[in-house]
Structure 1
């Protein structure tokens, strides 16, 4: 063997040792997480079993156990039964060995189930030595980032290939051994040397030696202090919990994570490759499945509940397609989300972003067509751009010439808040439909694919698959919600927070019912007499000095402030926010906003950033239809709804701005209501609408619901409520005025 061969083997050996070191270092870091997690998880399981009454053992054995003697002995919970053990149980009068065996077997089954399902919550407000140790162990892996994960994966593959080759090539390292070896061994040794050289050259071109070295350094570097680890956890809790789920193996229910899709579709999605070359962040299991669903099915609706990371799933799809050689992508969203989309793509991928908005949008469009990347624009601006022709090229819109040739076809159209284009007669809907028809892949994203009528959902399906939309029939859902979900499975994926985010802190809803003051009652009667529905909804704030709702709101904000918590106050009405602003300002509250539809897109994000950056209590005032879309308000742990909304999804979206992946504190939601008027009617209506939404848009086990029950427009609904309230208050002779 010559020097070249020996050098090749030596290079291969060094690369092999570096690859093995990365795998070992990562394994050591993961083991540290498991060791720190174990006592916390065991304690959580003990608490869970300590809360399960002994009577639940009957459920496990289908009622075959006789537990009267056990309960009379003082053993009240499953945890106490397990702690007692067989000897103490056997001492209970009337309890034989067979009963002892059955009781313990049933208790162990519940214990096993608890071990599988109990989630660990890391309380940033009350750090303990055990949780601090876990956060510090996780910090190492979070700080190492997705590059470390990528290094480990490639190191494992490379080690598996290099190990046997180095064994075969060892023969060629010694002249005497080579001379004495047979022809077959010599040939195998020379072949191994050639393959080692090829592998090392390929690895060096890909920069793997540097990647391995950096990953090992990162994996061996711990946090500066426990405080630094907790601060980082609060900033990036979603990444910590994602890693915790991956390492512990306690992933969410597979069927729930896969949106309860039919087996044949789920299997096709599972086999879809997902390239992470251009992605800078790790995905949770359900997020990776969502990205694969979009790739495998090509034109889909991602209807995940708010707060589950639909944006990062879309970015994962973009990154995968870019790794495959695709160059042009289009994201369409409300103007308020332009900044958020730009930030997310730049922070979580290596893709180039071009914003197509404002006076220079046509020049920006031409530049994007020439250079490629991800174009981010609004629904209204999209109408002014030439749609791509199938297979490349462009279709110029009337009165607007196509830009100079350049760039390829649009590989993916992403439409955020897609429920905004559910009306087929709206120009924005027609523009999006035109682009969706001409793009090879389309991803519609919305947490509310259906609001008042299931038929609205049909239009979104029609944008993706006309044949499927036709097969659903003319009625809203002829076979009911279960059959409807099965029928749209090829294009529709939805997961709910409760199914896949076991680590989310608690969400507590409280309806705060207040009796109208005499002044409130007088203002309300005036609104009813005039037939003004919107005035009826905000009457409780028209006379601030004697407003029962406003007094309660100030108490909630004061209490939150005393606990160091931030609050978001939502209202549909600008003048209500003005009243709240004046009242809280008089109390000395630190205020941000009001955040309304008239605030420019860039300024909206700045308001949210400033609100989040403040140390200690603060209040953000927000118009619910403006701030309830797309923005991340997880700095707040208290949410106040000044009045009930007409659509349940409006409230759901607003609350989900705070209670979402990454939230580390419990969230309390207060809905302020007054008795005996429009609020009561709207609350009953919201309950009906929510049941419909659950039946058709969410996975649901509730009874079938009829969409006809609420198939009325908001204007008709307002008129009906006005008439009913006028009748209740004895104003039937008053002239009726159409609702605003």
Structure 2
């Protein structure tokens, strides 16, 4: 296929070529991969400025997207891609290949640095999904920090650089500029742009941006970032978001409320609820709304099938391929069993992606965390069903963008199964308000706890 870049894509390509560090904060569907690959080819073969490129990406993206993009576009077919994936032996063999681009999943960054730091062969870095490095305490960030000076050029790609707030930006921008713009340490960054929010003694549970922080931070990083919204540059088909209300019977609702109360009472009676406890309890409540609870042996005990029955109606009525996002193991198992007549497939491999896009899969299921970034699924269908919603705006938006993106030719229909009177309603509301921060999560659970204590 011939690549005819849009004006914004041409500007982004020129930005990568002209600057040593660039953050492409482009919304989903704007073609971050083809932009970056086009710049890479020019830097390697025309400018003679780069020899080998290391791409760090989520696992499914590392397996499929970068090589698929090279195969898709005529001007990129000569680029040689090696995949540093699989067993240690396979990874070492891939590193030994003579290639232009070496793609590795983010989980193996520590291994790569530990084993090849002294014989580094890459002079350009591309981080596909920069938010993977938002945590400065994570092992992958610390490992990448060690070899960052070895790269002459760095590109960071993401559609939402601060899905959980401005605090995420420090580590991401550090990857790009080594601390030049947002301070050398996260402690200094916090001191300048934030004040403590909720505290318990010396423990700070969250940080609140000071007045003007967002504008100041945006100005600081504006010279090395490009930020664009797909709505401003693409003509996408219509998107229809549909909340499908699922009504539990009186008995089912009683079971849910009893279990909900038990889980909420596990939270501390203190005013402050820790983020870890809140996330765990929210996960348990979402599992309940899906219709099952785990017993002491780890087995799933089903207490309602209302969502499965509603999902069956949607699949039958559509008579077309359906992509279903599930949240928990029992949901995965129950969906696969309930719709076995459709020979459902779970999205795991490059073959699954190809078969879906070629129209050979009627029902495809996936966890949103595994398909969130870079996968192109728009050729295979236009119907999404959220069996359960995630408490993550980033996961939600990225997963929807697998179908609602450039190249989609039909209106995209997004069904959200909402069990009335359950935590589903609060999660849906938070996603609609675009606020799934830790503070919002803890507030939601605190309110729920007060309700059950009344």
Equivalent residue in structure 2 for 1:327, among 22, 46, 51: 51
CA contact (8 A) 1:287 1:313 kept: yes
Is 1:314 aligned to 2:36, yes or no?
Answer: yes
Instruction: List structure 1 runs of 4+ shifted beyond 6 angstroms.
Output: none
Q: CA deviation at 1:424?
A: 0.5
CA contact (8 A) 1:303 1:493 kept: yes
Q: CA deviation at 1:353?
A: 1.5
Equivalent residue in structure 2 for 1:516, among 248, 253, 267: 248
Please identify the structure whose Cα radius of gyration is greater: 1
Is 1:684 aligned to 2:403, yes or no?
Answer: no
Within-5 A mapping of 1:699-710? 710=437
Within-5 A mapping of 1:416-495? 416-465=128-177, 466-470=179-183, 473-475=192-194, 476=209, 478-479=211-212, 481-495=214-228
CA contact (8 A) 1:520 1:539 kept: no
Is 1:534 aligned to 2:292, yes or no?
Answer: no
CA contact (8 A) 2:166 2:214 kept: no
Q: CA deviation at 1:478?
A: 4.0
Within-5 A mapping of 1:399-410? 402-403=118-119, 410=122
Aligned residue pairs total: 399
Q: Give, in whole Å, the separation in 1 of the partners of 2:343 and 2:412.
A: 20
Matched residue of 2:92: which SS?
helix
Q: CA deviation at 1:440?
A: 1.1
Q: Which residue of 2 aligns with 1:592?
A: 345
CA contact (8 A) 2:83 2:91 kept: no
Instruction: Note closer, same or farther for the CA distance 1:400–1:432 as it changes in structure 2 (3 Å cut).
Output: closer
Instruction: Note closer, same or farther for the CA distance 1:459–1:293 as it changes in structure 2 (3 Å cut).
Output: same
Consecutive unaligned residues of structure 2, counting only runs of 5 or more, are 195-208, 264-280, 293-301
Q: What CA deviation, in whole Å up to 9, does each residue of 1:362-408 have, x standing for no partner?
A: 5336524xx3521111223232335xxxxxxxxxx4x76845x9xxx
Q: Which residue of 1 aligns with 2:89?
A: 360
CA contact (8 A) 2:327 2:389 kept: no
Is 1:551 aligned to 2:309, yes or no?
Answer: yes
Two-structure CA RMSD over aligned residues (Å): 2.7
Q: Which residue of 2 aligns with 1:102?
A: none
Equivalent residue in structure 2 for 1:655, among 394, 400, 403: 400
Q: What CA deviation, in whole Å up to 9, does each residue of 1:312-345 have, x standing for no partner?
A: 1110111011122232111111222222222323
Higher percent of residues as helix: 1
- TM-score w.r.t. the length of structure 1 is 0.50
Q: CA deviation at 1:522?
A: 2.9
Q: Which residue of 1 aligns with 2:327?
A: 572
Q: CA deviation at 1:648?
A: 1.2
Q: Give, in whole Å, the separation in 1 of the partners of 2:22 and 2:239.
A: 30
Matched residue of 1:385: which SS?
helix
CA contact (8 A) 2:83 2:104 kept: yes
- TM-score w.r.t. the length of structure 2 is 0.80
Higher percent of residues as strand: 2
Consecutive unaligned residues of structure 1, counting only runs of 5 or more, are 1-144, 147-280, 387-396, 596-602, 693-709, 733-740
Instruction: Note closer, same or farther for the CA distance 1:520–1:307 as it changes in structure 2 (3 Å cut).
Output: farther
Instruction: Note closer, same or farther for the CA distance 1:458–1:481 as it changes in structure 2 (3 Å cut).
Output: same
CA contact (8 A) 2:383 2:414 kept: yes
Within-5 A mapping of 1:376-395? 376-386=103-113
Within-5 A mapping of 1:183-332? 281-323=3-45, 324-325=47-48, 326-332=50-56
Q: What CA deviation, in whole Å up to 9, does each residue of 1:253-281 have, x standing for no partner?
A: xxxxxxxxxxxxxxxxxxxxxxxxxxxx3
Q: Which residue of 1 aligns with 2:295?
A: none
Q: Which residue of 1 aligns with 2:205?
A: none
Q: CA deviation at 1:288?
A: 1.7
Q: Which residue of 2 aligns with 1:204?
A: none
CA contact (8 A) 1:517 1:547 kept: no
Q: What CA deviation, in whole Å up to 9, does each residue of 1:591-621 have, x standing for no partner?
A: 212x4xxxxxxx4221122222235x71111
Q: CA deviation at 1:722?
A: 4.7
Q: CA deviation at 1:581?
A: 2.3
Is 1:498 aligned to 2:223, yes or no?
Answer: no
Q: CA deviation at 1:539?
A: 2.0
Matched residue of 2:136: which SS?
coil
Instruction: Note closer, same or farther for the CA distance 1:366–1:729 as it changes in structure 2 (3 Å cut).
Output: closer
Q: Which residue of 2 aligns with 1:274?
A: none
Instruction: Note closer, same or farther for the CA distance 1:452–1:287 as it changes in structure 2 (3 Å cut).
Output: same
Instruction: Note closer, same or farther for the CA distance 1:633–1:440 as it changes in structure 2 (3 Å cut).
Output: same
Q: Give, in whole Å, the separation in 1 of the partners of 2:251 and 2:362.
A: 30
Instruction: Note closer, same or farther for the CA distance 1:518–1:580 as it changes in structure 2 (3 Å cut).
Output: farther
Matched residue of 1:282: which SS?
coil
Q: Which residue of 2 aligns with 1:240?
A: none
Matched residue of 1:423: which SS?
coil
Within-5 A mapping of 1:623-638? 623-634=367-378, 635-638=380-383
Is 1:345 aligned to 2:90, yes or no?
Answer: no
